[in-house]
Amino acid sequence: MVLQVSKLGLGCMNLSSGYSSPVSEEDGISMIKHAFSKGITFFDTADVYGQNANETLLGKIGEMKKLVEEGKIKYIGLSEASPDTIRRAHGVHPITAVQMEWSLWTRDIEEEIIPLCRELGIGIVPYSPLGRGFFGGKAVVESVPADSILHFFPRYKGENLDRNKNIYFRIENLAKKYKCTSAQLALAWVLGQGDDVVPIPGTTKIKNLDDNIDSLRIKLTKEDLKEISDAVPIEEVAGDRDPEGFDKASWTFANTPPKDCKV
C-alpha cells in the first residue's frame, strides 16, 4: 500500500517547548530530517514556540531553503480565526488553510468552522489531533513531564483527569478491534473527516512519528467514524480545553476588527 503522506504534517512545537520537555537541537534536527525522508513536507512552526527557537531550528534544514527557492511556500493560512474573520480575509486574498484544534474530545468547530471552510474551499489543519497527547496515553499510561504546560490544562487536572481516563480506556479497547494503537485510531478518526483535512500531530520520538504515519493505513467507513465518535460523547469530557484566560485567544473570541476600525 502506498501511503498518502501528504495527508499528514508535523507539529514542531514540542521540539522546542510545549506539552513535552524540549529536546536537544541535534535530536530536533534528526526528527525533522526523518519526517522529511518519510515524505512529510508540511512542518508547523511559529515564533511563539520556544521564543523563536523553533523557527530557528527549522531554518537549519537545507530542504526548507529548497522549498522557498522552488516557490512552494507562498500560501496564506489562519489559526484560531472566527467565521467572520475567515470570510473577510478570504475576500481579500484566498485563504489556503485554517488551523484549528480538532480531535475526538474537541469538536466545537464542526458546527460552524468546518462547513464555512468547505463552502470557501479552504483546507482544514487540525492541531492537537491526539488531544495534546492524551489519546497516546499521556497522563494515563505515560507521566507528564514536570516542565510540561499540560499541568495548566483543565482536562489534565485532578478529578477531570480521573474522569477523562475512562474515555482513554474506551478508545484503547476500541483500538483492539481495528488492530492499532489508541493514538493511531484517534488520528485515523481525524484523517477520516475528509480529503481536505491534514492534521499535524507533534511528537519528540521518532517511533511515535512512524506510528503516526502508519495511521494512514487505517481506512474507516462512515459507520466506523460514528462508532469512534460515539465512544467519546462530548458531554462526558471533563474540563475546558484551555487554561483560564487562554480561551480569549480562541476562535470563539478572536474576531479581527474591521479594517477601518479605530482602536
State which amino acid sits at residue 17: S
Is the Cβ–Cβ distance between 124 and 198 less than 8 Å?
Answer: yes
How long is the chain?
A: 263
From the list 19, 49, 156, 168, the catalytic residue is: 49
Start-to-end CA span in the chain (Å): 55
- Of 189, 156, 158, 153, residue with least CA distance to 171: 189
Is the Cβ–Cβ distance between 134 and 220 less than 8 Å?
Answer: no
Is the Cβ–Cβ distance between 145 and 18 less than 8 Å?
Answer: no
19 is catalytic: no
Q: Is 72 helix (H, G, I), strand (E, B) or coil?
A: coil
Active site residues: 49
